[in-house]
Amino acid sequence: AKHFKLLVVGGGAGGLGAASKFARKLPKGSVGIVEPHEDHYYQPGFTLVGGGLMTLEANRRKEAKLIPRDATWIQNEVVLFTPTQNALTLKGGEDLSYDYMVIAMGAHLRFDKIKGALEALETSGVCSNYSPFHVEKHFQEVLTFKGGNAIYTYPNAPIKCAGAPQKACYITDSILRKRGVRDDAKLIYATSLNRIFGPESYIEPLEKVACEKEIEVKTRRNLIEVDSNSKTAIFEVLDVDGAPTGDTESLEYSLLHIGPPCSAPKALRSSPFADKTGFMDVDGETLQSKRFPNVFGVGDCMNTPNAKTAASVSSHLKTIDKNLSQVMLGKKPKSKYDGYASCPLVVSRNSAILAEFNPEGPLETTPFNQKKPSRWAYFLKRHILPALYWNGLIKGYWNGPGTMRKFTRMFKSE
C-alpha cells in the first residue's frame, strides 16, 4: 500500500485547509489528499447563486488547481477505514496507509430521506440551494413564479448552515416584491425547530424580519414527503421536544425549497471513528478522535455541538494546526476549539444580519450592532468572505477571527 505521513480525507474547505498547513510543515510528498470530485464549490456562495446575486461559475474552481503544491491528490473516494492498521481502502480496492490522518469528509445531503424528494427535484417548482445541481433552478423558479405558496423547509436532522433555508426565503421575498408579484404569493418558512433559529440572541431580530416581510413561520413542521403530481408537501407535526405527534399537515406548493437532512458520509458512518449518530466521535475541544489518537477531525463531519459552517472550519484548523503538530512530536494536544460558528443571514438583496456564536451564546467580532440588518454585513458576505475562503481558509492561512475579537472587544460593551 502507498504510505503517507499524513493522509487527509476530503478536499473540501477543511481538507484543503489542513493539507495546506501541513504540506508547508512536512517534507515534500508527505501529505496525501483523497477527494473524488473534479470541481470544488464555495458552498456559502450558493445562497447568492439561488438569489441571482452571483453566478455558479464564480463559486467553482477546479480541485486540481487548489491542491497544495507539495501534496499528492488521490482522486478517489474512501470506502473503508481500517484504523487498527492505520489504513484505508479506496473505491476500486487500492489501499493506502498513514502515520497520521485528518478526516474532513463534510456532511452529505440526504434528500433520499424525504419520500419523493429526489424525484420531485426533477419536476417544476421544486429546488434547493444546497445542491449545485438545483441551486440555479431556485432563481429560475423565483423569476417565473406566478402565485401560490412558496414553501421553505428546515429538516428534523443536522444540517449545514442552518440559516440557509431562511436566507433563501428572505431573498425570494425581495425578488418577488421587485417583480411586483409579491401580493400573489404566500411565503411560508416551515421549520422542524420550535423557533425560527437555534441561537437565542438572533431570534428576535429574525422574527422581526419575517414579520415585516409577511412570511408565515410554521414551527414544529418536518417535511416527510413530496408528492410532485399533486404538488403537495406533507409535514409531520412535532411536539415541543421534537418528537412526532402523529399528526400531519399537507400544503400545496407552487415553489418548494427543500432544506435537506444531512448525515455523515457512508464510509465514515460505518467506521470505528463514528459515534452512534454516524458523525466522527472527537474530543470537542482538541478535535482528536476519541479512539485513535493519531487521527483528527475538521469540519462538518464531526459530532461537535457547533453549527456546521465554513466559519467553524477556520477555528477547527487553528486547533488542529497546533494539536496535530504536538502529537507528531509525541506530546499531548493542548489547544482548544472555542465552538465558534458564523452565519451571515442575508435578509434581502443587499442586507444581512451577521450571526456569530458558539453553543453558549454570541461570539461577535465587530464593535457594531450585528443583530441589525446592515449593508456592511452583506458586503462582507458578498465580497470579503469569498476572497477570505479562496485566498485564506483553503490555503491554510485563515485561522478565524478569534485574535481580532480580543482586540475589538475593547470597543464593545455587551
Helix (H) or strand (E) holding 99: strand 95-103
**Is 343 tagged catalytic?**
yes
Q: How far apart are CA 194 and CA 219, in angstroms?
A: 5
Find the catalytic residue in 127, 161, 169, 262: 161
Q: How far apart are CA 317 and CA 276, in angstroms?
A: 25
Interaction between residue 337 and ligand FAD (CB under 6 A): no
Phi, psi of 412 (to 5 degrees): -125, 130
Stretch that binds ligand FAD, among 22-30, 159-167, 269-277, 394-402 (CB under 6 A): 159-167
Number of residues that bind ligand FAD (CB under 6 A): 38
Grid coordinates belonging to 324: 496535530
Grid coordinates belonging to 156: 428534523
Sheet of strand 361-362, all strands in order from the earlier edge strand to the far edge = 341-346, 352-358, 361-362
**Is 211 tagged catalytic?**
no
CB neighbour list of residue 167: distance below 8 Å, 6 or more residues apart:
47, 51, 345, 346, 347
Report the number of secondary-structure helices (H) and strands (E) in the chain: 12, 22
CB of 328 to ligand FAD, least distance (A): 21
Stretch that binds ligand FAD, among 113-121, 157-165, 187-195, 358-366 (CB under 6 A): 157-165
CB of 355 to ligand FAD, least distance (A): 10
Stretch that binds ligand FAD, among 99-107, 218-226, 283-291, 400-408 (CB under 6 A): 99-107
Which one of 283, 300, 321, 364 is in contact with ligand FAD (CB under 6 A)?
A: 300
Interaction between residue 130 and ligand FAD (CB under 6 A): yes
Nearer to ligand FAD, 32 or 44 (CB): 44
CB neighbour list of residue 313: distance below 8 Å, 6 or more residues apart:
13, 14, 17, 298, 299, 393
Find the catalytic residue in 127, 169, 301, 343: 343
CB of 94 to ligand FAD, least distance (A): 13
Sign of CA dihedral 360, 364, 369, 372: negative
Nearer to ligand FAD, 71 or 161 (CB): 161
CB of 110 to ligand FAD, least distance (A): 13
Distance of CA 314 to the CA centre of its chain: 13
Q: Within positions 61 to 90, which residues make up the interface with ligand FAD, using CB under 6 A?
A: 77-78
Of residues 61, 120, 116, 85, the one with CA closest to residue 7: 85
Grid coordinates belonging to 353: 444580519
- Residue nearest to ligand FAD according to CB distances in the complex: 12
Interaction between residue 37 and ligand FAD (CB under 6 A): yes
CB of 386 to ligand FAD, least distance (A): 10
Interaction between residue 106 and ligand FAD (CB under 6 A): yes
Q: How far apart are CA 178 and CA 354, in angstroms?
A: 24
**Phi-psi region for residue 412, left (φ > 0), alpha (ψ -120 to 50) or beta?**
beta
Binding site for ligand FAD (CB under 6 A): 9-15, 34-37, 43-44, 46-47, 77-78, 104-106, 129-130, 160-161, 164, 265, 267, 299-301, 308-311, 313, 342-344
Q: Which residues are catalytic?
A: 161, 343
